A and B are shown apart, each in its own frame.
Chain A
Amino acid sequence: MSQDNVLLRVDHLVKHFPITKGILVQKQVGAVRAVDDISFDIRRGETLGLVGESGCGKSTTGRTILQLYRPTSGHVYYEGKDLTTLKGSALRPMRAKMQMIFQDPYASLNPRMTVAEIIGEPLVVHKVGGTKEINERVDQLLGQVGLNPAFANRYPHEFSGGQRQRIGVARALALNPDLIVCDEPISALDVSIQAQVVNLLEDLQDQLGLTYLFIAHDLSMVRHISDRVAVMYLGIIVELADRAELYHNPLHPYTQALLSAVPIPDPQAEEKRARIILEGDVPSPANPPSGCRFRTRCPIAQALCAEEKPVWRELRPDHFVACHFAN
């Protein structure tokens, strides 16, 4: 892996949300460890899939990378520049290069703004051209995501979910970003619309050379779109590998359990599919287990797992895993 190919480097990123108590004087009594020391790289032009259960910190990771949440500690380097030290106006030019597509197409568009205003807002904020240039760019963007530019003066509530998500994609593209964080962009859509939006994202990646961090919980969709896949559990990344490697040769017991839950569209193979059923619930991120976080539900856990945190090691070339007993 060549160093100059790395677009974004996440280095020991930590995000804790404080839990406070008290009416007048607020005292911190604990923290939700939403993201607890994760590191990975995103290479230019690739799609990195980030999968995990609800509440495991996937979205927090995406938002912390974009500095929507300021990290508790750790660094995010974009083309070698540390975003976590930038503030206010210094951060603004960097924001143009990293955009986000949101999960809920109904909540992510301001109902009081027209489509043209929504898509044009990044251009207005970054003072790109006058009214005429912005209008032209908005029309061009609408065409690019497959919407009729004649709809520019309508309001979001006049569109369907899939169309709204296209509007969200157009907004994210407005400033010609390099990196787009897709935060479950299709999980709120009908299955028939999901494929359209995913195909749109893939086409745009080919045309514009975009890099995606694709957050999802749908394993087949991640397999379809990703080049590499990272698996998260309770605030940490447990495994990271190439797509083919991860799906054919999962090393972490959690990844194995996740993959065993995916149905196979072949009755005979499906018959033989052995599901690994995990016991119990996900522990609270405010009070995670000692040592290995997965040990409370792990089928192969031993005494060592409660005492020592597993090391993040490269077991095979480009295949990282955090487990004492993976081999």
Chain B
Amino acid sequence: MSAQTGVLKAGAGGMPLTMKRESLTADAFRRLIRNRAAVVGGLIVLLLALIAIFAGQIAPKSYEVQVLIDNNKVPAWMVSLFSSMAPYAKTTTDYLLGADYVGRDLFSRLVYGSRVSLSVAFIGPIISLLIGVVYGSISGFFGGRADNLMMRIVDVLYAFPTLLFVILLMAFFRSTFAKPDPGSFAYGLSQLDARMGGMLFIFMGIGFTAWETMARLTRGQVLSVREKEFVEAARTVGAGNGRIMFRHILPNIVGPLVVFESLSIPTYITFEAFLSYIGLGVNPPTPSWGSMIAEGGSVIRTYPNQAVFPALALAITMFAFNFLGDGLRDALDPRLRGTQ
């Protein structure tokens, strides 16, 4: 053993034998938790997830029961803060953030609304990754004619204005699946959509548009890693396509893909909020921050609380995901590997 250690020392260029071993993932995680903004973002995301899961326990009231006599009530603490509201506002201490125009508790709706935003934040990337990574990997890995054809299809889809495309899709879904025959596939879909409060079609709308960038990114990454010598080395030892794809290429491109997806989560949340804002999103009475902003926006001069709080919730969520995404990008950056 000692002779071997001697050989090592000679060849090691002074590398200490006691050097701590650390995988790239462990190194990335260590640098992520050292990034304060990313940790705060991650904690907020975690908190939001808990709120969404335990919405039934947290929300003091139902999000759909209308108490018409309480409509547009303003919490007492707001009136004392903004005295200009005093002459006309019906004050209450029963509602933490007040009630909306049909007397539903705003705080409860805000809590339940996190479910929609968070579902979009998690399902959006999953759909986009599933379609985009599979499509991009096939295109990049096999190359040639198939690659050329597949990328031209993406180019054509890419040329569509995304927002317009989603609006068209949503309008199409909503009208096509409005009154289908019972038992048909369309009926099943619309039943499922109704049970999810209209979220299924939002997922589909986002899924249909978001995978294109992912596919392009994946293809580019696969192309660059495919030419690396370690992939050739794997071929030399006789590894098949599956092994090369899953053991050699995918683990080496996961970083950029995860970073890209986590940075586009805010886009998905905005998408949902926007769709709900223009009335193509969730079905009433399911609360969504977007539809709450739309409803509150019409009375923003008299009852600003109805629009400001959902907007604040949306902004905080977006910041949290952005900070987390930025942190991930820095943590997975190979140039910063091993630094503090």
B4, B12, B230: most-surrounded residue (chain A CB, <10 A): B230
Residues of A within 8 A of B11 (CB): 146, 160, 162-163, 166, 193, 196
Least CB separation from A181: chain B residue: B236
Query: Is B236 within 8 A of A68, CB to CB?
Result: yes
* B interface footprint on A78-107 (CB within 8 Å = 1, 0 otherwise): 000000000000011001101110111001
B15, B232, B237: most-surrounded residue (chain A CB, <10 A): B237
Query: Is B12 within 8 A of A143, CB to CB?
Result: no
Least CB separation from B334: chain A residue: A111
Query: Is A95 within 8 A of B252, CB to CB?
Result: no
Residues of A within 8 A of B23 (CB): 114, 155
* A interface footprint on B83-113 (CB within 8 Å = 1, 0 otherwise): 0000000000000000000000000000000
A26-B148, A193-B11 given as contacts; is B24 within 8 A of A155 (CB)? yes
* A interface footprint on B1-35 (CB within 8 Å = 1, 0 otherwise): 10011011011110101010111100000000000
A148 within 8 A of B: yes
A275 within 8 A of B: no
Partner of B21, one of A122, A153, A163: A153
* B interface footprint on A127-150 (CB within 8 Å = 1, 0 otherwise): 000000000000000010011100
Partner of B251, one of A112, A154, A163: A112
Partner of B238, one of A26, A95, A155, A168: A95
Least CB separation from A160: chain B residue: B13
Least CB separation from A22: chain B residue: B148
B179 within 8 A of A: no
Query: Is A163 within 8 A of B233, CB to CB?
Result: no
A182 within 8 A of B: no
Partner of A108, one of B21, B229, B243, B251: B229
Partner of A155, one of B12, B21, B234, B239: B21
Query: Is B248 within 8 A of A110, CB to CB?
Result: yes
B301 within 8 A of A: no
Query: Is B236 within 8 A of A95, CB to CB?
Result: yes
A112-B24, A148-B4, A160-B12 given as contacts; is B247 within 8 A of A99 (CB)? no
A112-B252, A160-B13, A193-B11 given as contacts; is B24 within 8 A of A121 (CB)? no
Least CB separation from B6: chain A residue: A146
B235 within 8 A of A: yes
Majority DSSP secondary structure for residues of B touching A: helix
Majority DSSP secondary structure for residues of A touching B: loop
Chain A residues within CB distance 8 Å of chain B: 23-24, 26, 63, 66, 68, 91-92, 95-96, 98-100, 102-104, 107-114, 121-122, 125-126, 143, 146-148, 153-155, 157-160, 162-163, 166, 168, 171, 174-175, 193, 196
Query: Is B24 within 8 A of A157, CB to CB?
Result: yes
Query: Is A146 within 8 A of B4, CB to CB?
Result: yes
Least CB separation from B236: chain A residue: A100
B36 within 8 A of A: no
Roughly how many angstroms separate A154 CA and B22 CA in the complex, as a whole number?
7
Report, nearest first, the 6 A-B pairs whose CB atoms are least far apart: A122-B237, A108-B229, A95-B238, A112-B251, A107-B229, A110-B230
Residues of A within 8 A of B228 (CB): 107
Residues of A within 8 A of B7 (CB): 146
* A interface footprint on B156-177 (CB within 8 Å = 1, 0 otherwise): 0000000000000000000000
Query: Is A102 within 8 A of B229, CB to CB?
Result: yes
Roughly how many angstroms separate A128 CA and B239 CA in the complex, as a whole number?
14
Give the Cβ gap from B143 to chain A, nearest Cβ, in Å: 11
**Cross-chain pairs A/B with CB under 8 angstroms, 6 sampled:** A63-B232, A68-B235, A110-B230, A155-B24, A160-B15, A196-B11
Query: Is A157 within 8 A of B229, CB to CB?
Result: no
Least CB separation from A155: chain B residue: B23
Roughly how many angstroms separate A181 CA and B12 CA in the complex, as a whole number?
25
Roughly how many angstroms separate A121 CA and B244 CA in the complex, as a whole number?
11
Residues of B within 8 A of A23 (CB): 148, 152
Partner of B237, one of A107, A125, A153: A125
A113-B247, A146-B8, A157-B24 given as contacts; is B238 within 8 A of A96 (CB)? yes
Roughly how many angstroms separate A99 CA and B240 CA in the complex, as a whole number?
16
Q: Which residues in window 232-285 of B have CB below 8 A to A? A: 232-240, 243, 247-248, 251-252
Query: Is B8 within 8 A of A147, CB to CB?
Result: yes
Residues of A within 8 A of B13 (CB): 160, 162
Least CB separation from B149: chain A residue: A24
Least CB separation from B15: chain A residue: A160
Roughly how many angstroms separate A109 CA and B233 CA in the complex, as a whole number?
8
* A interface footprint on B272-306 (CB within 8 Å = 1, 0 otherwise): 00000000000000000000000000000000000
A113-B247, A143-B4, A155-B21 given as contacts; is B237 within 8 A of A121 (CB)? yes
Roughly how many angstroms separate A125 CA and B236 CA in the complex, as a whole number?
11
Give the Cβ gap from B156 to chain A, nearest Cβ, in Å: 12
Residues of B within 8 A of A114 (CB): 23
B335 within 8 A of A: no
Query: Is A125 within 8 A of B238, CB to CB?
Result: yes
Give the Cβ gap from A175 to chain B, nearest Cβ, in Å: 7
Roughly how many angstroms separate A147 CA and B15 CA in the complex, as a whole number?
13
B145 within 8 A of A: yes
Query: Is A24 within 8 A of B238, CB to CB?
Result: no
Partner of A121, one of B8, B148, B152, B239: B239
Query: Is B233 within 8 A of A111, CB to CB?
Result: no
Partner of B24, one of A68, A111, A168: A111
Residues of B within 8 A of A126 (CB): 237-238
